[in-house]
Amino acid sequence: NQPVQVNFPRASLVPVLKIPNIASGPDDDAVGVYLRFSGDLLGQMMLVIPTEKAPELVDLLLGSPKGTTQTLGSLERSALGELANLCGSYFLNAIANALGRGGFRPSPPVVVVDMVAAILDIIVATLGAGNEEAWVMAAHFSDSTRSVDADFWVIPDLSQLDALLPEGVQT
């Protein structure tokens, strides 16, 4: 019964294989929520939350007191999946508006719990040629009394991006 705000205070373009060192550490456990997107542009997105912060984020989303969530059951995973879906949809809508295009569609979210490097392997395994960089954004979720930080990764299929940009603009 209270709003949850999200801010993206920092964004940078990062070589894909350096993401684990920037996000935390490659061997650190994390919860990743993976989405592909299709339509006028193809790509992948992932919301990555440190494992110890994921229950806090669920409590924030569900309006529960801090410490209520002890495990990530189906309800908790669904809440994190919907959060990633909302963040991804917001990002895709912003790109569509900036390019004057539409038709970007995220896939249903998939929640995984693993080491950061293993979560990144999901993305690397499906990268197309030339996809060597990702947008890495710090995500800050908060209500009036608490906050949780996470990372949001976006890896577009760069082979299609040039065709979408207005004339005279190149990647």
Among the listed ranges 7-16, 60-69, 85-94, which one has the minimum average pLDDT value?
A: 7-16
The predicted pLDDT at position 1 comes to 65
Calculate the average pLDDT of the chain.
84
Q: Where are the beta strands (DSSP E) in 2-132?
A: 5-15, 29-38, 43-50, 105-106, 110-115
Sign of torsion, CA 95 101 102 104? Answer: negative
**Residue 74, pLDDT score:** 95
pLDDT of residue 169: 47
For residue 70, what are the contacts with CB-CB under 8 A and spacing of at least 6? 55
What's the whole-number mean pLDDT along residues 109-119?
Answer: 90
Amino acid found at 136: V
Q: Tell me the pLDDT band of 161, cut-offs 50, 70 and 90.
A: low
Q: CA distances (Å), 74 to each of 58, 80, 110, 148, 166, in order? A: 12, 10, 12, 21, 43
User: Is 90 exceeded by the pLDDT of residue 68?
Assistant: yes
The overall pTM is greater than 0.75 = yes
